Amino acid sequence: MATNKTIPGNQSGDPSWPYGPPPEESEAGEPTWKCPGGECECHPIDEKRETVKHTLFFHDDNSKRMANARCRVFLKGTLVSKQENAGGDGSIEVEIPEDTLTLAVEWAPEDVPLVGPFPFRRIYHVYISDDADEGARQRLHNLGFGRPRSLEEKIEAFQEVYNLPIDGQVESVQGTLTDYHDNARLPPLVEKPIAGDPEGRTERKPDPPLSPDVRPPSQGCLAAVEKTRPKHCHFSYVVLDRQNEEPVKNEPFMIEFEGQTVHYGQTDGEGKFQHGDVEAGHYLFKIGESEMTIPAIDKEHKDRKIILQNDIFLRSKGGRA
């Protein structure tokens, strides 16, 4: 993808990957007796460690398989994926040490768009615990259910998204969750009409699960699915420089929420940008070397001013149409 602009913070070292460096493999989890990746002082690296092949299946935020997804897979900062794109079935095979616990993975549509919530990023659990609670937590994390803080909340979100009875109990989802994740059967989510709704509105509902696709010796699914919240807000801002309050024109920026990319974009010829249908809350806005927290605003409001104050901080001034 050719571009004459670089998004804020892009230090990926790969000119074909416009999104910046991968996530670090530092996700907190339950205590384990195993060294992460088997690579610490008490478990030195063995250059002759046995390796295994592991298949990953990529899905988007609607649980749909991503054919030819642009992807990168890292083990302890080293790129282990030998091809830039997944196959037409959305899968990629990597060869990794057999005692690998996690991988850092990022993926996006084939054309690596700068507009939208891309890339999807995840610290992916290769090793799935035999403990029922921890195994469920790891599978849910791989599928994108990371926002709720408790395991019960994660399960409830999974049950709601996939139209299952909601009780938040591990035993209620263990079979279905394992099947979806381990056998690559994650059902696509589609917008379907709400029965009897006079306004013709739709809601996100799952299609039937995919047919099993088992790739020995091991595999798993990656998705960016999450329980959706009401999206009654948007971003509508004009970015001004700190000296003369002149528009910052045609400048790339990114917006993040809870560590996940929400939107990449570029200000227009008047220094403005707009992005609609987001959840209420405060988001991290990055442009150039500067960053700040900005609110998603009511859709009745537009063209709030963001004034660059210095190289690090920005200040937001309210405005209304």
Q: What is the pLDDT of residues 38-63, one digit of tens each?
A: 445 454 445 567 999 999 999 999 99
| Confidence check: pLDDT of 36 > 70 | no
**Which residues, 6+ apart, have CB-to-CB distance to 224 below 8 Å?**
59, 60, 61, 117, 120, 122, 144
Do 252 and 120 share a structural domain?
no
Helix%, strand%, coil% for the chain, nearest 5? 10, 35, 55
| Confidence check: pLDDT of 321 > 50 | no
By residue range, what is the domain housing residue 264? 233-317
Q: Is 62 left (phi over 0), alpha (psi -120 to 50) or beta?
A: alpha
Looking at the structure of the chain, the number of domains it has is: 2
Residues 123-172 pLDDT 10s: 999 999 999 999 999 999 999 987 767 999 999 999 999 999 999 999 99
Q: Regarding predicted confidence, which is higher, 175 or 227?
A: 175
φ and ψ of 138, to 5 deg: -70, -45
Do 245 and 301 share a structural domain?
yes
pLDDT more than 90, % of the chain: 50
Do 152 and 296 share a structural domain?
no
Do 86 and 215 share a structural domain?
yes
Do 300 and 237 share a structural domain?
yes
**Using CA atoms, how far apart are residues 223 and 221, in angstroms rounded to an integer?**
7
270's tokens: 């008047």
Residue 28 inside a domain? The answer is no
Do 99 and 176 share a structural domain?
yes
Largest pairwise CA distance in the chain: 66
Do 237 and 197 share a structural domain?
no
Query: What's the pLDDT score for residue 47?
Result: 57
Do 297 and 217 share a structural domain?
no
Cis status of the peptide bond prior to 295, with omega within 30 of 0: no
